[in-house]
Amino acid sequence: MTTATKTVEINRRHFLRATALLAGGFMVRWEIAAPASAAGATVITDISDAKPAVLNPWIQITPDNWTTIVVSQAEMGQGIETTLSAIVADELGSDWKRVRRENSLVGPAYQNPQYHWQFTGNAESIRTFHDYVRTLAAAAREMLIAAAAARWKIEPEQLRVADSFIFDDRNGRKASFGELAVAASKIAAPAKPKLKPRKDWKLVGGVELERVDIPAKIDGSAVFGIDVVVPNMAHAAVPFPRAFGATIERVNTDAAKAMPGVVDIVVLRQALTANGEKSDAVIAVAEKYWQAARALSAVDVSWSPPPTGLFDSKTIEAAYETAFAGKPFEPVVHEGDADKRLASDAENVVSAEYHSGWQAHAPLEPMNCTAFVDGDRCTLWAPTQGQEMCQIVLSYGLGIPKQNVIVNRTYLGGGFGRRLIADYAALAAYASRAVHRPVKLIWSREMDMARDHYRPAFTQRVRAALGADGAPAAMEIKLVAPTILRPVSPGPFPNPKIDPLCVEALDEIAYPIENLKVGFHLLDVPVPTMVWRTTGAGPNFFFLESFIDELAHRADEDPYRYRRRLLAKKSGNERLLAVLDLAAEKSGMARPANDELARGIACGFGFGSYFAQVVEARVTDDLTVDIRRVVSVIDCGTVLDPRIASASIASGVVWGLSQAYAAEISFADGGVAETNFNGYRILTLPDAPPTETHFIDSGQKLGGIGELGPLGVPPALTNAIFAATGKRLRALPLARSGVKFRGSNNLA
């Protein structure tokens, strides 16, 4: 850490330069947000000795003509390391074969440019970073061109950039980025660099690149958080009691301390583990992980029951019931007079209740972090979606300045939202502080299940009145859900009674409904809750796209054509209609299919993109479901890498089927009943259907992909089940209602 002082100084210079090149809004933010160690402490520190020249916090170039791109977004399977670095390399003009990537540390230049907060999630990493990183890359390119122009004493307009070289075609000479980079790094960044037009994109926009992380992921060499090795490192394991909020009543660690290899047994009381959350915990620290895990069984600890009591699933379900029975609902949408219209046609009102069950994130890599607390400095090596959250929580938790918390990011063995918070990192840091050594703390799967922050159940009640044409003339929707945004968001909600993510998809319904009333009740539950892939859009589209299907059948109309007719009545639905039509076309839903398969369709807008999905399945009367194909049509503006994006959509289809079919968290004794993958049943290989994904290139603003794939799957599936059997299933997971997938004999 001897280079720290120098790093700060040089980085401040980079920071100032980077600040200068971006427009006003960014600049204000950076000035406010910049800590002393500002952007990119990862950068190798000294420019003058001709190591990498740093053109800005994202781009470094070495004399051997390699471009290093510092990537802010966590690679957790979505392919962002490839696509984001391809965007930068393309705009810069780098030879793709001579591009390296580094994971960023925490710094203003790596924050989401819209939210001013450094995280990976919400399908943001392309749509909000695209213009931002292109601007940085274009500025660096213009600096390199300016350096070449100065060297050759000619006008920059005469120069051409390709494959990490600047060409002076007229005079038949060229210079590499590597030769020019030091001079370029001393040139002031242009205020308004010119971005390449789409026709000049070579690495993105329909190009399928091999993912850069895959070679290391097929031979065991990829370093995930759990694989980090730090000199003199100890290993740690942790138990929590089942009950949330339980505190240590009495603990005796003598026997455990005497176990082989044990370094110490660390007892934490009300330690800050997440944004606004404190926990008691016992942490066994030993030379090896298995020694730590064994020592836990020798800790004699009794836990006091939490003040919230030893609730179970029935208690939680009753809280939803009570909310519907009389708690206030905050208006989210209020157009026309739904109450009046519903009252005027009371005997024909259609009503229903929909329910999406509790879910765990359960990424395959259990929570883990390696930490070293050394005096007033804390260094973390974490598989995290929330580097800045780690920094803030540990800054508070350890009582040290934010910039003294260095957060190194590794590959993530899945994220899905779980790794936005810092609870696992905090425990590792507290253990390190106690034993004065680096500590790698690994949660067992049982702890992962017991101490997730869960995607809560969403329950929607709806009443609708239909007009003479069968279209909904009035609709009242009431949603009850606990918060999903609060644990991951640093700021207050615009309206404290509305979690903006919980009401997604209900706050902008695409169907024309003259009298529409959407109300939300933010439920308090004694269970930690949080975003999970699909956020609020997932459960709300399950409700909305199932209920629209119900209305179509009531109107005795084909569900695709009914949607089409309604959507066409409202302006602004052109892109949604286009994905809907193509999905119907590609799936054979548009024409009567001459086969034994049932089809269900769903569509919508979320995360900046339009989707329509069709599930084709053979469904028997005893509700055995054999899904033959899932067709997805996506309009995300422009798809940058169709293969990577298709893989993400296919992944989302499996995610959607998992939650729709059998995965569910339930409660007993004040905690979670499921302890491992035998209880929390995610989809297995035999039940993963063939998928087919089509993209419509509308050329519009880029939209998200990562959250999109699952959105239409649960309603398209239940709509297909209805088409086959006439049974309308309104509660997820469907295994509760006796649905069996073909491969379900694989489930315990």
Binding residues (CB under 8 A) for another protein: these are 76-79, 210-211, 213-224, 226-227, 229, 235, 260, 288-291, 294, 362-366, 411-416, 442, 444-446, 643, 647-648, 650-655, 658, 676-678, 682-686, 688-691, 743, 746, 748
CB 218, min distance to another protein, A: 5
Q: Any bridge partners for residue 248, and if so which?
A: 303
> Tokens 């009371």 map to which residue?
346
- 256 contacts: CB under 8 Å, gap ≥ 6: 262, 265, 284, 295, 296, 298, 299, 300
Least separation in angstroms between residue 527's CB and another protein is 21
Among left, alpha and beta (phi > 0; psi -120 to 50; other), residue 671 is: beta
Determine how many CB atoms are found less than 10 A away from the CB of residue 512: 16
Angle between helix axes 4-21 and 130-152 (nearest 10 degrees) is 100
CB nearer another protein, residue 79 or residue 519:
79
Least CB distance from residue 440 to another protein, whole Å? 10
**Cβ closer to another protein: 108 or 704?**
704
Nearer to another protein, 96 or 224 (CB): 224
Q: Encoding tokens for residue 462?
A: 């709806």
Distance separating alpha carbons of residues 166 and 174, to the nearest angstrom:
6
CB of 647 to another protein, least distance (A): 7
Judged by beta carbon, residue 286 or residue 421, the one nearer another protein is: 286
> Cβ of residue 447: shortest distance to another protein, in angstroms?
10
Give the nearest distance from C-beta 433 to another protein in angstroms. Answer: 23
Strands 234-237 and 624-635: unpaired
What DSSP string runs through 182-224?
A: HHHHTSPPPSSPPPPPGGG-SSSSS--PPPTTHHHHTTT---B
Residue 748 token pair: 């315990």
State the nearest-atom distance from the C-beta of 652 to another protein, in Å.
7
Pick between residue 152 and residue 677 the one whose CB is nearest to another protein. Answer: 677
Name the residue with tokens 């005796």.
252
Instruction: Give the nearest distance from C-beta 677 to another protein in angstroms.
Output: 4
Measured from the CB atom, the residue of 32 and 685 that comes closer to another protein is 685
CB of residue 114 vs another protein: minimum separation in angstroms? 25
The string of DSSP letters for 671-688 reads: EES--STTTS----GGG-
Which is nearer to another protein, 193 or 415 (by Cβ)? 415
Asked if 188 contacts 77 with a C-beta cutoff of 8 angstroms, the reply is no
Is residue 631 within 8 A of residue 194, CB to CB? The reply is no
In whole angstroms, how close is the CB of 630 to another protein at the nearest point?
Answer: 10
Give me the least distance between CB of 673 and another protein, in Å please.
16
**5 membership: H or E segment, kind and range:** helix 4-21
Tell the smallest beta-carbon distance from residue 502 to another protein (Å): 24
Are 710 and 653 in contact by the 8 Å Cβ rule? The answer is: yes
- Measured from the CB atom, the residue of 40 and 652 that comes closer to another protein is 652
Task: Using alpha carbons, select from 477, 478, 480, 481 the residue that is nearest to residue 455.
Answer: 481
Instruction: Compare residues 460 and 648 and give the one whose CB is closer to another protein.
Output: 648
Q: Give 3-state DSSP helix, strand, coil % of the chain, rounded to 5.
A: 35, 25, 40
CA distance 69 to 86: 9
Q: How many residues does the chain have?
A: 748
Report the residue number, 25 or 206, with the smaller CB distance to another protein: 206
Identify which of residues 191 and 214 has a Cβ nearer to another protein in the complex: 214
DSSP state of 739: -
- Kind and range of the H or E element at 659? helix 642-661
Say if residues 723 and 600 touch (Cβ distance below 8 Å). Answer: yes
Which candidate, 339, 90, 351, places its Cα nearest to that of 198? 90
Cis previous bond, 113, omega within 30: no
Closest to 73 measured CA to CA, from 109, 117, 118, 35: 118
Shortest Å distance, C-beta 705 to another protein? 13
Identify which of residues 22 and 647 has a Cβ nearer to another protein in the complex.
647
Identify which of residues 4 and 214 has a Cβ nearer to another protein in the complex.
214
DSSP secondary structure of 557-576:
--HHHHHHHHHHTSTT-HHH
Please state, in angstroms and rounded to a whole number, the distance separating the CA atoms of residues 423 and 426: 5
